[in-house]
A = this chain, B = another copy of it.
Amino acid sequence: MKQLTIIKIGGNVIDSSEKLHQFLLDFTALPGDKILVHGGGKIATELGTSLGIEPKMVDGRRITDIETLRIVTMVYAGLINKNMVAQLQARGCNAIGLSGADGNVIRAVKRPVGSIDYGFVGDLNEASVSVQTLDSLLKSGLVPVLCAITHDGDTQLLNTNADTIASAVAVAMSAVYDTRLVYCFEKKGVLRDVEDDLSLVTEIKRNEFEQLKDEGVVSGGMIPKLHNAFEAIRQGVKAVYIGKADELPQIDTEGFGTRLID
């Protein structure tokens, strides 16, 4: 099977025009089929504030009410996605920016109202990703750039976690590609000592995860991240990488961040 790389970038890259510029150069240079998934960053919050719309929080969780949905649709699917695509095109990468509604590539289900009503937030399931449409775009030489807006197939757009989209796309595309999933975040990867970049754990096998948790090497917010990564691997993804965006060019040589494998 052909190799497909799915890369997710978050606010720390998007909010810095310098970092974003460099990342898009590195992404363009990455050989083979690839898909970019991007989150939001500060711009949506800033636009909301300018419009007098305060972030809605319930029990510390962000709520996507109808006004917030309008804003994230404008910022993620419009401003960020189209500027990113225009930059990639200028570098020679034939990017095509998509929300989940476009070509029905990602269909979500509005999160059921439990103790918290998250509003217009979409959850994904095993039928969410249209492998056929993404595959046909890739075969046409296009590079999909997915924003964190999906739809429910019944006219409703939904705000959806970009990490979850990246993982669902990687799992689904594993049916027709050897997929690897790359999460770019603030740190070099999993560190034995958070203060020391040299303490990077370069590789974790699925059966080593429990032990690293017990040892405290993996803790805090890294636990759910790695849990989800190994879940993606269990479902067919060949490898998941967690590391710093600016080290992406080394992925096929010295390696990139922490590599998670089966």
Contacts and interface: CB of A to CB of B under 8 A. Distances in A.
Given A50-B51, A96-B102, 8 more contacts: A51-B51, A75-B78, A76-B78, A82-B101, A85-B102, A95-B102, A97-B98, A140-B140
The 10 closest A-B CB pairs, nearest first, are A78-B78, A74-B74, A74-B78, A86-B101, A90-B155, A86-B151, A77-B78, A136-B140, A96-B103, A85-B101
Contacts of A101: 82, 85-86, 89, 95, 97
A142 interface: yes
A73 interface: yes
In the assembly, how many copies of this chain are there?
A: 2
Interface size grouping (class) on chain A: 35 or more
A64 interface: no
5 contacts: A82-B102, A96-B98, A98-B102, A133-B140, A133-B142
A154 interface: yes
Interface of A: 47, 50-51, 70, 73-79, 81-83, 85-87, 89-90, 94-99, 101-104, 133, 136-137, 140, 142, 149, 151, 153-157
Nearest to A135: B140
A228 to B, nearest CB: 26
Contacts of A133: 140, 142
Contacts of A140: 133, 136-137, 140
Given A133-B140, A136-B140, A77 B86 contact: no
Contacts of A73: 78-79, 82-83
Given A78-B76, A79-B78, A94 B104 contact: yes
